Structure 1
C-alpha cells in the first residue's frame, strides 16, 4: 500500500505540478486572469513578480494553458543565468521551428518576421513567457525593446510576459532600462497566502485526490501557516511530510505530535548537533 492510499487518496496529494483545473483558486489567480486578458487585448508587456515559492510558474502555466490555441501561440522559455541576447533569440527561433542562421542579426530578423507573420497572416497572437526573468542581464532586458517595437513603435505582434523574483523589479528600476520600463503595460506582485488561506488550501488539495474527511486538526493548520510563511511550495512540502509521518505512525489525523515529527525532519538543512554539543 502506498502512503496516500492509507488515507483513501486516489493519488499522491500536494503535487509539485498540479493540473490547471486543480490549482487552488486564490484572489491572485483571478486578478492575474483579468490582467492577462488586458495584456492580450493590448498586445502589451506584463511583469509578474513574487518571492520564491509563491507559485508564479504554476499560476502562469494555468493561465496560458487555458488560452484558445486557435487564437494564441504560447512560447514558454525558462531563462538561465548565462543568457545573452543571442541566446534569447536562438531559443525563440527554436520554439518557432525556424532554421537558426549563423549571424545573430539574421536570427533576430527571422524571429521578428515569424512573429509578425504568425499574427497578421495566421491569426494567432504569440504570447511569449520568459520565466525566471530575474536572471536576465540589464543588456538583455534592454534588447527586449526591439522585440516589442514594430511599425515605428506603434504596434507589436505579440504579448510579452516577464515572470521572476522581486529582483526583476529592482533591475527594471535601473536608469538605463527606463525606455523598456515605459513599455511595460502593467506589473503585478504575487502576494503570499493570508492567515486564513492555508486551511482552505489543505482542504482543496485533499479533495482533489478524493479525501473529503478532516485530516489536519486546527492546531496543525495553525502550524502550517507559521511554517509555510504564506508560500505554497513550503506548504506542500510540510503537508507531504506530515502525511508521511502519520502513515509511519499509523495515524489518520495530523495532530501536534505528527506535526512535530514532520517539522523535525524538514529541518534537515540545519547542522546536526551530536552529544557533546559540537556540530557534526
Structure 2
C-alpha cells in the first residue's frame, strides 16, 4: 500500500521469513556457519534455539537455500504438531522415497537405502524440524532412533537439526529424553538484537527494499523502537510496517514518537520501564482518529 509512496520495490518489513532480507548480524552469521559445519562434519544432532521472532525460521530458510545449491538431500518439517505416522509420511514425501504405503517400516527401509547410497557418494542427508518444541514425546523418540543410522566408516548418515523456542531445551532435559540430549553435539542460539543491531537491521531492510538513504526513522525514534520491541526482529518488523502505513495515511515522510506510541498501544506491547498508561492521550491522528488527517469544515457564519 505504501510502497509507491516511499518508492519501495517491495515491502521492507514483511512478516513472512524471506532470506533475501536476512540481516547478517554476527550471531546470525555464526549460527548459520555452525549449522553448515554441523551438516558437513556429520555431527548428527544439532539444536537451534531462540525466543519467538528472533529469526530461527529465516535462518532455516537460508540453510535450505544453501543445501539446495549444494545438491544436498534434505527433508524440512515445518508443522511439528504431527503424529509419528505423519512424521514418517512427511520424510518420505520430502525425500521422494519410493514407498507404496509410506508405513514406518517401509519408510525406514527406503530411508536407510538412500542414506547409504548418498554416503557412498561422499554426500550426506539432512532432516530439519522447525518448531521442534511442539513435537510429541513419541515423535522425539523416533527422531532419537533415526540418529542411530550410522556407519563405522562413514559416520552419521542423517544430520538432524531441531529448531525451536527455549522450551525445546527444557523439553530435552526430561529424564525420558536423556539419551537424545546426550547425542546433541552442537548447539546454536539466537538472541534479541542489541541497539546497534536494531539500527543496522532497519537500515538494511529499507536499503534492500529501495531506500538506500533512509530518513523515515530518526535515530532517536530507532532507539525507542529498539526499547519497545526489546530487539526482537519480528516485533521490529510489525512496528516499522505500521509506522510506514501511518506515514502514508498522513502523507508524511518521517515517522514520529506520537505515531510509535499509538502503534504500541494498539499492539498491546509491554517492555521494561514502560510508562503507566494515562487517560485521554491522543495518537498521531488526534482524538477523532484518522478523520483528523482531513481538514475541518469551516463554521457557518
| Superposition TM-score tier, normalisation by shorter sequence | 0.7 to 0.9
Q: Does 1:136 align with 2:142?
A: no
Unaligned runs of 5+ residues in structure 2 are 270-278, 281-301
How far is 1:35 from its partner? 0.8
When the two structures are superposed, what TM-score results if normalisation uses the length of structure 1?
0.87
Change (3 A) 1:120 1:106: same
**How many residues are aligned here?**
268
Partner Cα separation in structure 2 for residue 238 and residue 246 of structure 1:
12
- Moved runs in structure 1, 4+ residues, more than 6 A? none
Could you tell which deviates more after superposition, 128-137 or 32-41? 32-41
**SS in structure 2 of the partner of residue 251 of structure 1:** coil
Partner Cα separation in structure 2 for residue 74 and residue 90 of structure 1:
14
Partner Cα separation in structure 1 for residue 250 and residue 209 of structure 2:
21
Q: Does 1:79 align with 2:75?
A: no
Q: Deviations over 1:13-44 (max 9, x none)?
A: 11234542431011121111221232123212
2:125/2:159 contact within 8 Å kept: yes
How far is 1:112 from its partner? 2.5
Q: Which residue of 1 aligns with 2:124?
A: 125
Partner Cα separation in structure 2 for residue 102 and residue 251 of structure 1:
57
Partner Cα separation in structure 1 for residue 71 and residue 183 of structure 2:
23
Q: Which residue of 2 aligns with 1:241?
A: 242
When the two structures are superposed, what TM-score results if normalisation uses the length of structure 2?
0.81
Q: Which residue of 1 aligns with 2:13?
A: 14
Partner Cα separation in structure 2 for residue 140 and residue 102 of structure 1:
16
Partner Cα separation in structure 1 for residue 238 and residue 11 of structure 2:
12
**SS in structure 2 of the partner of residue 185 of structure 1:** strand
Q: Which residue of 1 aligns with 2:231?
A: 230
Partner Cα separation in structure 2 for residue 64 and residue 16 of structure 1:
19
Q: Does 1:252 align with 2:272?
A: no
Q: Which has the larger radius of gyration?
A: 2
Q: Does 1:189 align with 2:189?
A: yes
How far is 1:116 from its partner? 2.5
Q: Which residue of 1 aligns with 2:204?
A: 204
Q: Which residue of 2 aligns with 1:271?
A: none
Root-mean-square deviation (Å): 2.4
Q: Which residue of 2 aligns with 1:165?
A: 165
Q: Deviations over 1:256-276 (max 9, x none)?
A: 2222333343339xxxxx99x
